[in-house]
Homo-oligomer: A and B are copies of this chain.
């Protein structure tokens, strides 16, 4: 594989997903840090050369640039056991990854960012109006995962897949957004299974 460079903000779960995927696959990856609190992903250079959408992560593969965390994980894992060989399971893996970006990340990850980086005292009126809905939607997302994991070890099929990695990233730090993982014991057990996988690296590595 060509040289892999991750353009990232290391504390972002979306960036960590890609590092964790690479680590589980034994792929070396270079890291370039941007301070999103200082607008370093909105500079003219970043928008023109890395991502017109002004966001990290972006996975650089040689001279090609791939935004969107779950797409980058798919690129790295395509053709490996982290992507199920069965046609339905492969689509079902993507089902959880799309659900993560639509129903989990905008609630669980966003509240972690609002609490941990912006600070409640600095929230806008719009953020205050959105907060109760995001709490309820985040709790519903964690509950849905917990019920799904009641009778299974992994989100899809019989082994670890990108669905687990994508959802591990922000779930394991959900308490930073005010969520209680003690309320979802099946999720807690599943977090432990991922952390026991050969090659696992923590978020702050």
Contact = CB atoms under 8 A, between A and B. Distances in A.
A103 B78 CA distance: 24
A15 to B, nearest CB: 15
A52 B133 contact: no
Given A71-B98, A126-B132, 19 more contacts: A52-B148, A64-B88, A66-B88, A66-B95, A68-B98, A68-B99, A69-B98, A71-B94, A72-B95, A74-B90, A74-B91, A74-B94, A78-B91, A97-B98, A98-B101, A101-B101, A102-B105, A125-B129, A129-B130
B103 A91 contact: no
B78 A61 contact: no
Nearest to A90: B78
A91 B66 contact: yes
A interface: dominant SS: helix
Interface string A161-203: 0000000000000000000000000000000000000000000
Interface residues of A, number: 39
B102 A75 contact: no
Contact of A94 (B70, B105, B144): B70
Interface string A89-116: 0111011011101110110000000000
B87 A78 contact: yes
Copies in the complex: 2
A92 B90 CA distance: 17
Contacts of A69: 98
Contacts of A148: 52
Contacts of A99: 53, 67-68
A144 B53 contact: yes
18 contacts: A52-B147, A52-B148, A66-B92, A67-B95, A67-B99, A68-B94, A71-B91, A71-B92, A71-B94, A71-B95, A72-B91, A75-B90, A94-B94, A98-B98, A98-B101, A101-B101, A126-B133, A130-B130
